[in-house]
Chain A
Amino acid sequence: MLRRLSLAVAGGLLLASAVAGCGGDDAGSGSGGGGDDKITLGFSQVGAESGWRTANTKSIQESAASAGIDLKFSDAQGKQENQIKAIRNFITQRVDVIAFSPVVESGWGTVLKEAKDAGIPVILTDRAIDDPDTSLYKTFIGSDFVEEGKKAGDWLVKEYEGKTDPVNIVELQGSPGAAPANDRKAGFADVIKADTKFKVVASQTGQFTRTDGKAVMETFLKSQPKIDVLYAHNDDMGLGAIEAIEAAGKKPGTDIKIITVDAVKDGMTALSENKINFIVECSPLLGPQLMDLVKKVQDGQTIPQRVLTEETTFTPEQAKEVLADRKY
């Protein structure tokens, strides 16, 4: 514990000096010279906003190491400007391949054009961009968020099959403008619109965080006379909402049915305790697939424009079975 703390303090000082220096000292360490055959991959991560993201980062770092790829990792801390800066740095360092998870969908044209002009292939991971020019990137590997929303909707339709009473749904959206938020909302809405008994009575952003999920749910519980179902775009917001529901004297999973997306360990634990009713998996472990694609791109092989990660869904019973092996 003390070691970790002193590490933290040391790290803080290091960061402080980085602020002061702001230099690109490591620009020379890129493999631009081509002295060795090691592929250099510049990766810009969204941030560390959730357990999911952390598992995603770990998977990429570990699989890069085992694939013998030199990884330059940069954390954008949830800000697009940081990410654009990181990509520009990768271009100056002349990395072999750039991969990144876009913080938001729009505004990538200019910087990706720069990468293209520099002849550096770009791979999108986990989140898409909305630029019509698909030549800006080689491929997009990640989950199909629309499909995730549809899976959530499918479960709901099945759960209320044969019933005619109206079902009031509240939705906790992810960060506004982020692809998973937009698509999970659209996919879900697409499935439930077939039946008029389903009604989304309120839909607000919980910023993908537990605190905001709790705060928004607290307000929903007071402003909505009747809530049957909660659909949260990730586990963390769902977990926050569970606390709000409990504080309101209701039983999560029983009085209000809860569907979330992600299937991180905390969420799976709540699912196994029947506080959540259904989780659509969104697997963060795309590192090995990504490294494979990086190698193929570097070899000049053609790769598909869209690569899907393998995913499933979980009920409480299934959660109990796999919970012990859940790494993230």
Chain B
Amino acid sequence: MNLTALLRHRLFWPIAVLVVLLASNLVFSNNFFTITLQDGHLYGSLIDILRRSAPLVLVALGMTLVISTGGIDLSVGSVMAISGALACLLIGDLSNPDSVGPVLLVVGAAIALCLVFGLWNGFLVAVLGIQPIIATLILMVAGRGVAQLITDGQILNVHSAPYRVVGAGYFLAVPVSFLIAAAAVALTVAVTRRTALGLLLESVGGSPTASRLAGIRARRITIMVYVFAAAFAGVAGLIYSSDVSSADSNAAGNLIELNAILAVVIGGTALTGGRFSIAGSVLGAVIITTLDITAVSVGVPVETTLLFKAVVVIILCLAQSATFRAKVFGRFSAKRTVPA
């Protein structure tokens, strides 16, 4: 394959950074790539990365769709907190929290509530014409309050074997949270790339007015992406709370909206809307999770962890910028036509 074409591929630099991160882990802990079978499930650092990425992948998927229409959704973290809080509250009220049926109902109820929140966001943006950043800011702030009211400001603990499976369980030795995220990715790819929906999304993001004049129901599509984003965030919230069998309405999904936006940007989707890359966003989410795990596993001192992450992200963003590459690497090439 042509090397320059490879270098120019949109996802070349994110993949390169991920490889470097994984490789640097190997230097510090030599069993980093070891995957063993522990109590009948897969166990290892790579499995941790897959498992821990799941909530961010879900949120980033929704965010990708929203951003592709030129919008943004700041409320995903709060929606995560609400869905986890509601699920834990309802499970706490069950007479038998270990029976599968009622727990499934609870999970359904939590996701249904999130759909309502998605509709609310979509309504504000598409029908009332409020700027997305403001429209979703309302739910971002108020939503956390709702979650705190549901949990009474306490950490709600639940003891439910079926609920635990969502975030901490394994199916055929594979983490369930990873399977959920993978299914969501597959669903999103199928819906956007196997139908005309992806094209419609990009067209709405490119120009809502032109799309409407071309006969696309831009309003309906806009509402739909916010519903998608909220539903995915709801599932992410369930994974998050199920992982530790408790609902912490303060910490759940705190600042995840920013990580999700970062994942989308790393993946090469422009914040201005239009073309989007699902693979890129997933990759971005995995990079961010790997970065978190690497910081701990390499032993970056607590005080400098944020700096470490920032430096990696800046390097990645600069490497992705064609202008920057031309300015820096251009100097090393034979051509000296560029004035200093």
**CB-defined contacts of A7 to chain B, threshold 8 Å:** 149
Q: Decide yes or no whether A80 CB sits under 8 A from chain B.
A: no
Q: Are B248 and A247 in contact (CB under 8 A)?
A: no
Q: Mark A257-291, 1 if CB is under 8 A from B, else 0.
A: 00000000010000000000000000000000000
Identify A19's interface contact among B138, B240, B250, B293, CB under 8 A. Answer: B138
What is the distance, in angstroms, from B145's C-beta to the closest C-beta of chain A?
A: 4
- Some 21 contacts from A to B, beta carbons below 8 A apart, are A8-B146, A16-B142, A47-B250, A48-B148, A48-B154, A48-B249, A50-B155, A54-B154, A204-B295, A209-B251, A215-B296, A219-B45, A219-B48, A219-B296, A220-B296, A223-B32, A236-B155, A239-B244, A243-B168, A248-B38, A249-B39
A223 to B45 CA separation, bound complex (whole angstroms): 9
Q: Are A1 and B244 in contact (CB under 8 A)?
A: no
Q: How would you classify the secondary structure of chain A's contact residues: helix, strand, loop or mixed?
A: helix
If A8-B149, A218-B48 touch, does A204 touch B302 (CB 8 Å cutoff)? yes
Q: Mark A228-258, 1 if CB is under 8 A from B, else 0.
A: 0000000010011001000111000000000
A240 to B145 CA separation, bound complex (whole angstroms): 24
Q: Mark B132-159, 1 if CB is under 8 A from A, else 0.
A: 0000011001111110111011110100
Q: Decide yes or no whether B206 CB sits under 8 A from chain A.
A: no
If A222-B48, A243-B244 touch, does A266 touch B250 (CB 8 Å cutoff)? no
**CB-defined contacts of A202 to chain B, threshold 8 Å:** 296, 299
Q: Decide yes or no whether B99 CB sits under 8 A from chain A.
A: no
Instruction: A204-B299, A209-B251 are known; give 15 further A-B pairs, CB within 8 A.
Output: A1-B89, A1-B93, A77-B144, A202-B299, A204-B296, A204-B302, A209-B248, A211-B251, A211-B252, A216-B296, A219-B297, A223-B32, A223-B297, A248-B43, A249-B38
Q: Are A176 and B29 in contact (CB under 8 A)?
A: no
Q: Which of A7-35 contact B (CB under 8 A)?
A: 7-9, 11-13, 15-16, 19
**CB-defined contacts of A205 to chain B, threshold 8 Å:** 302, 305
Q: Mark B172-207, 1 if CB is under 8 A from A, else 0.
A: 000000000000000000000000000000000000
Q: Which of B26-48 contact A (CB under 8 A)?
A: 28-29, 31-32, 38-39, 43-45, 48
Q: Decide yes or no whether B73 CB sits under 8 A from chain A.
A: no
Q: Mark B248-275, 1 if CB is under 8 A from A, else 0.
A: 1111100000000000000000000000
Q: Decide yes or no whether A173 CB sits under 8 A from chain B.
A: yes
Q: Decide yes or no whether A57 CB sits under 8 A from chain B.
A: yes
**CB-defined contacts of A94 to chain B, threshold 8 Å:** none
Q: Decide yes or no whether A203 CB sits under 8 A from chain B.
A: yes
Q: Decide yes or no whether A138 CB sits under 8 A from chain B.
A: no
Q: Are A48 and B168 in contact (CB under 8 A)?
A: no
If A204-B296, A205-B305 touch, does A210 touch B244 (CB 8 Å cutoff)? yes
Q: Decide yes or no whether A44 CB sits under 8 A from chain B.
A: no
A11 to B153 CA separation, bound complex (whole angstroms): 13
Identify B243's interface contact among A5, A214, A219, A220, CB under 8 A. Answer: A214
Q: Which residue of B lies closest to A20 (CB)?
A: B138
**CB-defined contacts of A16 to chain B, threshold 8 Å:** 138, 141-142
Q: Which residue of A lies closest to B167 (CB)?
A: A211
Q: Are A12 and B243 in contact (CB under 8 A)?
A: no
**CB-defined contacts of B90 to chain A, threshold 8 Å:** 1
Identify B157's interface contact among A19, A47, A212, A266, CB under 8 A. Answer: A266
Q: Which of B205-251 contact A (CB under 8 A)?
A: 240, 243-246, 248-251
Q: Decide yes or no whether A4 CB sits under 8 A from chain B.
A: yes
Q: Mark B283-307, 1 if CB is under 8 A from A, else 0.
A: 0000000001101111100110100
A8 to B89 CA separation, bound complex (whole angstroms): 12
Q: Decide yes or no whether A316 CB sits under 8 A from chain B.
A: no
Identify B146's interface contact among A12, A50, A266, CB under 8 A. Answer: A12
**CB-defined contacts of A57 to chain B, threshold 8 Å:** 153
Q: Which residue of A lies closest to B34 (CB)?
A: A222
Q: How many residues belonging to B are interface residues under a CB distance threshold of 8 Å?
A: 52
Q: Decide yes or no whether A101 CB sits under 8 A from chain B.
A: no
A239 to B155 CA separation, bound complex (whole angstroms): 12
Identify A173's interface contact among B86, B146, B298, B302, CB under 8 A. Answer: B302
A51 to B32 CA separation, bound complex (whole angstroms): 35
Q: Decide yes or no whether A154 CB sits under 8 A from chain B.
A: no
A8 to B153 CA separation, bound complex (whole angstroms): 11
If A176-B303, A204-B296, A222-B48 touch, does A15 touch B141 (CB 8 Å cutoff)? yes
Q: Decide yes or no whether A49 CB sits under 8 A from chain B.
A: yes
**CB-defined contacts of A216 to chain B, threshold 8 Å:** 296
**CB-defined contacts of A11 to chain B, threshold 8 Å:** 145-146, 149
**CB-defined contacts of B244 to chain A, threshold 8 Å:** 210-211, 214, 239-240, 243
A5 to B110 CA separation, bound complex (whole angstroms): 12
If A222-B297, A249-B38 touch, does A9 touch B251 (CB 8 Å cutoff)? no
Q: Are A222 and B31 in contact (CB under 8 A)?
A: yes
Q: Which residue of B lies closest to A212 (CB)?
A: B251
What is the distance, in angstroms, from B152's C-beta to the closest C-beta of chain A?
A: 8
A300 to B251 CA separation, bound complex (whole angstroms): 41
Q: Which residue of B lies closest to A11 (CB)?
A: B149
Q: Are B251 and A222 in contact (CB under 8 A)?
A: no
Q: Decide yes or no whether A139 CB sits under 8 A from chain B.
A: no
Q: Which of B6-43 contact A (CB under 8 A)?
A: 28-29, 31-32, 38-39, 43
Most interface-central of B29, B32, B38, B142 (chain A CB within 10 A): B142
Q: Which residue of A lies closest to B146 (CB)?
A: A12
Q: Are A207 and B145 in contact (CB under 8 A)?
A: no
A205 to B45 CA separation, bound complex (whole angstroms): 19
Q: Mark A182-226, 1 if CB is under 8 A from B, else 0.
A: 000000000000000000001111010111101110111011000
Q: Are B145 and A210 in contact (CB under 8 A)?
A: no
**CB-defined contacts of A8 to chain B, threshold 8 Å:** 146, 149-150
Q: Are B142 and A223 in contact (CB under 8 A)?
A: no
**CB-defined contacts of B52 to chain A, threshold 8 Å:** 215
**CB-defined contacts of A212 to chain B, threshold 8 Å:** 251
Q: Are A219 and B154 in contact (CB under 8 A)?
A: no
Q: Are B302 and A176 in contact (CB under 8 A)?
A: yes
Q: Are A5 and B150 in contact (CB under 8 A)?
A: yes
